[in-house]
């Protein structure tokens, strides 16, 4: 099985290093989300997660270069990594032609990872960059989180989303990951790096319009496709591990309640033109049947 087509999303069971060649992907990409293995010796079925650092960053530069070549003018990349790798991420993006826009701090809701000789770690980074200085799309989303302690006056129209995201809960290990985490019959997690749908919702809403094309070269459990499909965006996910490809197929077919993004619509209610940005779920058969 090489390719799965569903509605507006395509899953390629391939190594993204080769699949990202211009000859292989015919669509122009408007947004890419990169959540690669972090090279921290995690147990992946199909990938060595313990490369020498120089090899790993050479590989990341290769991926960034290939994604850049496929991206439309002004298109966006969001590259997620551990905070300790921030300088390497920014360097990789700069070296491969991307224009830096923001360093997003995704602050974790659960306790910090303690350190004995340094401060405890409490966030992950997401570097946002574009092809060229001006983003082709950037929707200034507005949210209305609870007022911080000491604030006396309620907001009139929420607040715009900043580069610190502290309102999105990560899917931690174990029970606390809740219903959204994919599990087997015994309750074990099926993909330990599964990203929360709220994270992809914010990224896709900010940097695309309905009908745009979203790429995830390390699509894992398929979170990017699950969200893109509900927002009426087309999406391409690439995944090396056949078990994950099968997992994505089941996840897309199942349409689980916990994957339904509509419950988050109200969180962005202060955003102007939200209904248009949110899009719909129209099936684009032309895209789904295109050759990859
Ligand atoms: C950090 S996880 C991504 C998790 C994903 N964001 C999610 O929400 O499920 C990285 C994924 O990349 C896959 N992978 C590793 N090397 C790859 C490669 N060369 N090409 C495609 N996928 C790869 C791994 O199997 C793993 O599922």
Cα atoms found within 13 Å of the Cα of residue 209, Cβ hemisphere only: 8
Domain spans of the chain, in order of start: 3-113+120-288
Cα atoms found within 13 Å of the Cα of residue 3, Cβ hemisphere only: 13
Q: How far is the CA of 200 from the centre of ligand 1 (A)?
A: 15
Distance between CA atoms of 261 and 20, rounded to whole angstroms? 29
45: Cα separation from own chain's centroid: 21
Contacting residues for 17 by C-beta, under 8 A, at least 6 apart: 59, 62, 63, 66
Instruction: Select from 41, 202, 216, 239 the residue to mutate for testing ligand 1; criterion: most ligand atoms less than 8 Å from CB.
Output: 239
Asked whether 194 lines ligand 1 (CB < 6 A), one says yes
Are 225 and 232 in contact, with CB atoms under 8 Å apart? Answer: no
pLDDT of residue 291: 40
How many secondary structure helices (H) and strands (E) does the chain include?
8, 11
Are 225 and 9 in contact, with CB atoms under 8 Å apart? Answer: yes
Ligand 1 nearest atom to the CA of residue 16, by list position: 20
**CATH tag for 3-113+120-288 (out of 3.40.50.720, 1.10.3720.10, 3.40.50.150, 2.40.50.140):** 3.40.50.150
Distance between CA atoms of 172 and 108, rounded to whole angstroms? 10
pLDDT of residue 5: 55
Q: How far is the CA of 36 from the centre of ligand 1 (A)?
A: 6
Are 127 and 79 in contact, with CB atoms under 8 Å apart? Answer: yes
Asked whether 35 lines ligand 1 (CB < 6 A), one says yes
Are 232 and 8 in contact, with CB atoms under 8 Å apart? Answer: yes
Distance between CA atoms of 11 and 292, rounded to whole angstroms? 10
Residue 224: name the closest of 202, 242, 250 by CA: 202
pLDDT of residue 49: 77
Ligand 1 nearest atom to the CA of residue 244, by list position: 27
Q: How far is the CA of 16 from the centre of ligand 1 (A)?
A: 9
194: left (phi over 0), alpha (psi -120 to 50) or beta: beta
Asked whether 191 lines ligand 1 (CB < 6 A), one says yes
Distance between CA atoms of 138 and 207, rounded to whole angstroms? 5
Distance between CA atoms of 170 and 84, rounded to whole angstroms? 18
Asked whether 66 lines ligand 1 (CB < 6 A), one says no
Instruction: List the structure tokens of 9.
Output: 């999303």
249: left (phi over 0), alpha (psi -120 to 50) or beta: alpha
pLDDT of residue 76: 98
pLDDT of residue 281: 56
Ligand 1 nearest atom to the CA of residue 195, by list position: 8
Place of tokens 């955003």: 271
Q: How far is the CA of 35 from the centre of ligand 1 (A)?
A: 7
pLDDT of residue 283: 40
What does the pLDDT profile of the chain (292 residues) look like in tens digits? 345 555 689 999 999 999 998 666 767 999 999 999 988 777 767 677 778 999 999 999 999 999 999 999 999 999 999 999 999 999 999 999 999 999 999 999 888 888 899 999 999 999 999 999 999 999 999 999 999 899 989 999 999 999 999 999 999 766 677 889 999 998 888 998 999 999 999 999 999 999 999 999 999 999 999 999 999 999 999 999 999 999 999 999 998 999 999 999 999 999 999 999 998 654 443 444 444 3
Ligand 1 nearest atom to the CA of residue 17, by list position: 19
Residue 199: name the closest of 33, 60, 64, 63 by CA: 33
């Amino acid at each position: 099985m090489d390719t799965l087509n569903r509605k507006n999303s395509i899953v390629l069971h391939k190594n993204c290093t080769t699949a990202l060649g211009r000859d292989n992907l015919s669509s122009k990409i408007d947004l890419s989300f990169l959540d690669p293995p972090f090279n921290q010796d995690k147990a992946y079925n199909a990938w060595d997660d313990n490369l020498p650092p120089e090899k790993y960053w050479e590989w990341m530069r290769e991926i960034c270069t290939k994604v850049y070549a496929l991206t439309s003018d002004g298109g966006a990349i969001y590259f997620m990594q551990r905070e300790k790798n921030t300088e390497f991420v920014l360097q990789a993006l700069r070296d491969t032609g991307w224009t830096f826009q923001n360093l997003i701090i995704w602050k974790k809701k659960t306790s910090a990872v303690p350190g004995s000789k340094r401060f405890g770690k409490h966030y992950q980074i997401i570097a946002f960059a574009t092809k060229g200085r001006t983003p082709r799309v950037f929707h200034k989303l507005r949210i209305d989180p609870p007022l911080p302690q000491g604030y006396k006056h309620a907001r009139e129209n929420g607040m715009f989303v900043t580069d610190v995201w502290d309102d999105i809960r990560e899917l931690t290990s174990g029970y606390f990951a809740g219903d959204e985490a994919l599990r087997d019959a015994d309750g074990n997690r099926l993909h330990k790096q599964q990203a929360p749908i709220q994270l992809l919702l914010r990224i896709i809403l900010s940097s695309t319009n309905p009908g745009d094309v979203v790429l995830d070269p390390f699509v894992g459990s398929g979170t990017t496709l699950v969200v893109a499909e509900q927002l009426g965006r087309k999406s391409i996910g690439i995944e090396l591990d056949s078990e994950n490809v099968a997992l994505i197929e089941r996840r897309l077919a199942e349409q689980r309640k916990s994957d339904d993004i509509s419950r988050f619509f109200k969180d962005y209610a202060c955003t102007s033109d939200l209904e248009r940005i949110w899009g719909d779920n129209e099936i684009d058969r032309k895209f789904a049947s295109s050759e990859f």
